[in-house]
Amino acid sequence: MLRPFFLRFLTAISLLTATALALQPGAAVAKVFGAESFTLANGLTVVVVPNPRAPVVKHMIWYRVGGADEGAGESGIAHFLEHLMFKGTQQRPAGEFSRLVAKNGGRENAFTSYDYTAYHQTIAKDRLEMVMALEAERMTGLVITSDEVERERLVVLEERRTRTDNNPSSRLREQMAAVQFYNYPYRRPVIGWEHEIRALDRERILAFYRRWYAPNNAVLVVAGDITAAELKPLAEKHYGAIPVAAPVVRVRPDEPPQTAAREVVLRDPRVPQPSWSRSWLAPSLLWGAREHAYALEVLAEILGGGATARLYRALVLDAGIADGAGAFYDSSTRGPSRFGFYASPRREVAPEKVEQEAEAEIAKILANGVDPDEVARAKTRMKAAAVLARDSLNTGAQTLGAALALGLTVEDVESWPERIDAVTPAQVNAAARFVLAGSGHVTGRLLPAAKE
């Protein structure tokens, strides 16, 4: 299963950022994707992203539930259920879903994040109704046995060992998240803690499934060679017949103020090169001081958006002490986000030297602010970077599905260019002070250890 949440910490590219069209100041505002949407009587939200370049469609079902919605002692249950969704239903035996998709020339996958779980298929347009019927069946008709749970538990545990336990960088990120958040459930790994994965049983997993998997807690996105007029009767036929379920409320604990700096140091003989990172809690589009979210996106571009960004230029090009450096921020989270920096020192350079230089760049931002010209250049780069977003089936489906599963709207996505265009240098400076002036940051150091 593809799980992009393992990459989010270092990629730091907001889903919304990846969807912008180029827009010069004062130009007419165009919709990013030209998406259409409607809602079925049972509460299922449907979004259509027309893209007639080829007779192919991307079909995605997004559930408004993820790792941050799990109860105490059940970390990893959303991800475990994702695996088990590929078993049988009341109408079909285990494995038939995947076999039929492959037989008809399609591709399928799924992923779980903190805030949503999604299932997707890419297939020829004339096979769309088939995958809609299959996906609608498993929305409420999943059948799993205790033996299947035990076999899939071994798969999940092996995935955890491969992706996290045997990967020093992943282990550090997991430990930093556990320290970064005092109370918010982002402190738990989406894949789950090993001891809790081992304790999950069939009854608990099915109870989680019955609570969260329902049409009124889902978003259907179809991108490709199709219109809303074509899709609506198919959606009503296959998904519209599913009864509405009792509504669920996503209640999560809030995060208290943070005033103490923390450090996480991981030494491992498998580390080929040291690395350093530092992160602060930051507002998102749905949490905290949301008015800073778009300005923080611009600030992240100024500091870490490629080879011309401040950190890379200062540490890699000018000082010559790092092999890489950048910044990360993701505005598209339901809860608190993180804003931070990372760098990897060159082999002959002490990690402390890189940390000092990175801190100096942060201090410059706080003392002197950003230059209006670099704000303008950053906004131009951000918008120009996704001029061809509509050419991809994946981009529209992924961005709109994630946004609606989080609690944003189609309009939030479509209006992204003008909202970024409206960001001012004063707003960027205010956002920088709001986040970076605080002392409640977490520093992570990944260091090699002597081999025994």
d(C-alpha 28, C-alpha 5), whole Å: 35
- Tell me the HSE value of 176 on the side-chain side, using a 13 A CA sphere: 28
- Please say whether the beta carbons of 142 and 84 come within 8 A: yes
The burial of 229, by beta-carbon neighbours within 10 Å (0-12 exposed, 13-18 middle, 19 or more buried), is given as: exposed
Catalytic residue (one of 70, 74, 82, 135): 82
Residue 383: left (phi > 0), alpha (psi -120 to 50), or beta? Answer: alpha
If one counts every other C-beta atom within 10 angstroms of the C-beta of residue 216, the result is 18
Reference 287, options 184, 419, 188, 218; nearest CA is: 184
Three-state SS for 121?
strand
d(C-alpha 194, C-alpha 191), whole Å: 9
Instruction: Provide the token pair at 97.
Output: 């879903």
d(C-alpha 321, C-alpha 350), whole Å: 9
Three-state SS for 108?
strand
Instruction: Provide the token pair at 226.
Output: 């199709």
d(C-alpha 180, C-alpha 168), whole Å: 18
d(C-alpha 200, C-alpha 184), whole Å: 22
Three-state SS for 119?
strand
- Tell me the HSE value of 309 on the side-chain side, using a 13 A CA sphere: 25
Kind of pairing between the strands at 442-448 and 262-268: parallel
Decide if 82 is catalytic. Answer: yes
If one counts every other C-beta atom within 10 angstroms of the C-beta of residue 342, the result is 24
Instruction: Provide the token pair at 104.
Output: 């008809």
Reference 305, options 361, 398, 382; nearest CA is: 382
Any idea which residue has 């399609």 for tokens?
A: 106
Q: In Å, how far are 164, 312, 330, 390 from 279, measured between CA atoms?
A: 20, 17, 12, 33
d(C-alpha 116, C-alpha 284), whole Å: 16
Residues forming the active site: 82
